[in-house]
Amino acid sequence: MAEDTTTPAPHSHADLSLIKRIIPHRYPFLFIDKVRDIVPHESGVGIKMVTNNEPHFQGHFPDEPIMPGVTIVEAMAQTSAVVVGVSMNIIDQPMATYFMGIDKCKFRRMVVPGDVLELHCKAIRGGGKIWKFEGKAIVDGQLCASAEFTAMMARKTDG
């Protein structure tokens, strides 16, 4: 029988364990629970289960908890970083992702505890150290936020 020399199928999803092997974010600044429908070099959909237990709701706002817009954009960026990590096979590598720019950012609907936030991210440009994505945050089929953002992947250095 011939030896199987086919390349294993790329990750089409990332659970929390794999996410932590790709990006350095941890509680309280990890804003995605999983990433599904990953198409390397193209796209992925992050999932964030929004709960009342998150620390930002204590101050934003105590009587009307609303997920801050900047954390929604950060969740899109984290989703995109996982897509890049899978695409470039940088799992278990000492890499960091740094924002370089945010453009065309708009907020349309509040995100509140109990929502399941879907973060649809699509690569506009990428393949090397610098990637540009467009992202859409959706709850129950409704657009909550959208943005284009650019980030750089860089090897972590010892301080």
Nearest to 143 by CA among 119, 95, 115, 109: 109
Query: What are the start-end ranges of the H helices in the chain?
Result: 16-22, 69-87
Catalytic (active site) residue 60: yes
> Of residues 13, 41, 56, 60, which has the active-site annotation?
60
Q: Is 50 exposed, middle or buried (0-12, 13-18, 19+ CB in 10 A)?
A: buried
The H helix count followed by the E strand count for the chain is 2, 6
Enumerate the active-site residues.
60
